[in-house]
Chains A and B, each alone.
Chain A
Amino acid sequence: MAKACCGGSGASVRRVKKSSCCGSSEKASEQAQACCGNKDSETNQNACACAKGASFDAEWVTGRIATPAGDVPQAATKLTFKDTLGSWKCRWSINRMNYKVEPGIYAVGTPDAASPVLVTANYKMTFDRLREQLGGLSLWIVVLDTNGINVWCAAGKGTFGTEELIKRIKAVRLADIVSHRTIILPQLGAVGVAAHEVTKETGFRVIYGTIRAKDIKAFLANGMKATEEMRTVKFTFADRIVLTPVELVGTMKPMLIAFGVLFILNAIGFGHYGWADFYGIIGSVLIGAVVTPALLPWVPGRAFSFKGALLGLLWAAGFLLLNGLPAAPVFGWLKAAAYFLLLPALSGFLTMNFTGSSTYTSLSGVDKEMEIALPIMLFAAAGGVLLLLVSDFIRLFGGALV
Chain B
Amino acid sequence: MKYLKNVVTLRHDIEKCTGCGMCLEVCPHRVFIPSEGKVKIRDRDACMECGACARNCPFGAIEVDEGVGCAAAIIMSFFTGEEPSCGC
A interface, CB within 8 angstroms of B:
1-7, 149-150, 153, 155-157, 187-188, 190-196, 208, 211, 226, 228, 231-233, 235, 296-297, 302-304, 352-353, 355-356, 358-370
Contacts and interface: CB of A to CB of B under 8 A. Distances in A.
Interface of B: 1-5, 7-9, 22, 25-30, 46-52, 54-56, 58, 63-75, 82-86, 88
Contacts of B86: 5, 153, 156-157, 356
A173 B50 CA distance: 31
A365 B55 CA distance: 21
Which 7 A-B pairs rank lowest in CB-CB distance, beginning with the nearest? A356-B70, A5-B85, A363-B67, A361-B69, A190-B26, A233-B28, A190-B52
Nearest to A305: B71
B72 A302 contact: no
A130 to B, nearest CB: 18
21 contacts: A190-B52, A191-B52, A193-B56, A211-B28, A232-B28, A297-B1, A304-B71, A356-B70, A356-B86, A358-B69, A360-B46, A360-B69, A361-B3, A362-B4, A362-B48, A363-B66, A364-B7, A365-B4, A365-B8, A366-B71, A370-B74
Contacts of A232: 28-30
A100 to B, nearest CB: 14
A303 B66 CA distance: 19
Query: Which of the listed residues B28, B49, B71, B84 has the most CB atoms from chain A within 10 Å of its own CB?
Result: B71
Contacts of A365: 3-4, 7-8, 69
Contacts of B51: 4, 191
Contacts of A194: 55-56
A340 to B, nearest CB: 24
A363 B65 contact: yes
Contacts of B22: 195
B50 A369 contact: no
A6 B70 CA distance: 13
A322 to B, nearest CB: 30
Contacts of A360: 1-3, 29, 46, 48, 69
A96 B75 CA distance: 22
Nearest to B69: A361
B85 to A, nearest CB: 3
Nearest to A366: B69
Contacts of B65: 1-2, 363-364
Nearest to A157: B85
B67 A2 contact: yes
Contacts of B67: 2, 4-5, 362-363
Contact of A1 (B5, B50, B54, B84): B54
B74 A4 contact: no
Given A5-B86, A362-B8, 10 more contacts: A1-B54, A302-B3, A353-B71, A355-B69, A356-B73, A358-B69, A359-B28, A362-B67, A363-B68, A366-B69
A304 B71 CA distance: 10
Contacts of B5: 302
Nearest to A367: B74
